[in-house]
A and B are shown apart, each in its own frame.
Chain A
Amino acid sequence: MPKINYKSNEFLVFLVIVAFVIVATASYPGFFSIPTLFDLLRNGIVIGIFAIGVLLVLISGGIDVSFTAVAVFALFTTTLTVKQLGLDLPWPLVFLVSVLIGMGLGLINAVFIAGFRLPTLIVTLGTLSALRGFLLTFVGSQLISNVPPSMQQFSRLVIVRGTNAQGFFYSLPWAFAFLVGVVVLTWFLLTRTLLGRNIFAIGGSLESARRIGINVRLTQVFVYAYVGGLAGLAGIIHASMARVANPFDLVGLELSVIAATVLGGARLSGGYGTITGTLLGVILIVMVNNSLILLGIPSTWQSVVIGALILLGTGLPSYQAKRAARKAG
């Protein structure tokens, strides 16, 4: 049995989620239901895949803000190419193309970060802006509203569907299985492979990692390619589920995703973070994003609430640590 650390960020976020559910159910009894749960799971797919990627980068001691631009670049280019060539590719191949484009774009980040050793925030801010501009200028700025048939077909695949006693319809798409797959794969990578431990090690101390002979560059190249690949996957899932490829989509979401990851306990200084924490952070952010409207709170309040959660969720533990240190002299 894993021990529960009652002082960890994970536990704190878990408590906030429970509190949120209680308050929400009290003011809107229909909240605590299967349809709400499935809504939450569906809305968590894309953010969840993004957040797992961000977690990896944060653990390695970097930060990536370009993943939304990578995702939208990959999804739009893939959809456009498949359509214009008139190919009837099955959806797994379409997804693969998008993932590969994402990886390729991630490698651009890797060249600057691992190759030229530039600060990760600067590099990814640059690629965020450049990729989006390139996409809109040279690839296209027209929304594609009839995506290829295989993508539409994917959007209709569901694991379960039904109607509850109140007559509300619910369904869980197969896309959710991708989130589960990404979680399992990344968990295995981080905790069971030496490559994963190398990622923790370079985030803990880059200099020490070099000294004991970890190939820091290769590890970084892997991290940014992996995140790029995940972004490509999240992007094409997003487009398939919405059945529309919008080149103006997704960009702007990056701070919410980073917020979810940080709320879950990953440190911006690197070396720390767990999958459980990240998923809890995602649940909280998605819940706030989707459910405040249900409670009759205007949507403009979402960002206020998310901001407050970040300040409390990450500020409180570090304030307590400081007080304890001062008390101890």
Chain B
Amino acid sequence: MSADKLTVADYPLAEKRPDLVRGKRGKSVDELTLDAVLDGTVTMEDLRITGLALAQQAEIARAVGRPTLAENFERAAELVEVPGETIMEIYELLRPGRAQTKDQLVAAARDLRDKHGAQRMAAFVEEAAEVYERRGLFRKRF
């Protein structure tokens, strides 16, 4: 671990490291005021989490001995820019019996990797494809 990894001392980031916390379009927490919401300078876009923030929370989770939580945050960081509809489509495809063949999941994984740069998530979906095949989930459900 390098010396500049975030630790418990940096948490909560919004209080201890406000310099690191930025909204989707670069605004600091101090700028996300009610007046700014009212005059339209702050919109829903500014109130979204960023991939960076999730990566920072992953560092903190790892520092306090929660590696699996950190991995979830890292997978999530890759999904931040993926549109909601795409997320719902992939989720649907991962449900039992939705994909009729392994290829459909493999194709979804390729899109995640190629279109969205989601390496971990793509590998995760490919892993699901392997397991589903092994456990016979690629069959029609009524």
A and B physically associate: no
A binding-site residues for B, Cβ under 8 Å: none
